[in-house]
């Protein structure tokens, strides 16, 4: 969760990266 959150803050400007992070977070769950 911490890593995902850091990526979200770091790549908040890139929607593509954001979507990828969301999908990966769902799979990690």
Q: What is the 3-state secondary structure (H, E, C) of the chain?
A: CHHHHHHHHHCCCCHHHHHHHHHHHHHHC
Instruction: Report the distance separating Cα 29 and Cα 7, nearest Å.
Output: 17
Range of the domain at 27: 1-29
Instruction: Report the distance separating Cα 21 and Cα 13, nearest Å.
Output: 13
The predicted-structure confidence for 1-29, as pLDDT tens digits, reads as follows 677 777 766 655 666 777 888 888 888 86
Structural domains of the chain, count: 1
Q: What is the pLDDT of residue 21?
A: 81
Q: How many CB atoms lie within 10 A of CB 20?
A: 13
Q: What is the pLDDT of residue 25?
A: 87
Q: What is the pLDDT of residue 10?
A: 62
Residue 21 sits at the vertex; the CA angle it makes with 2 and 15, to the nearest 5 degrees, is: 125
């Amino acid at each position: 969760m911490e890593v995902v959150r850091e990526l979200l803050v770091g790549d908040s400007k890139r929607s593509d990266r954001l979507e990828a992070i969301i999908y990966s977070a769902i799979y990690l769950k």
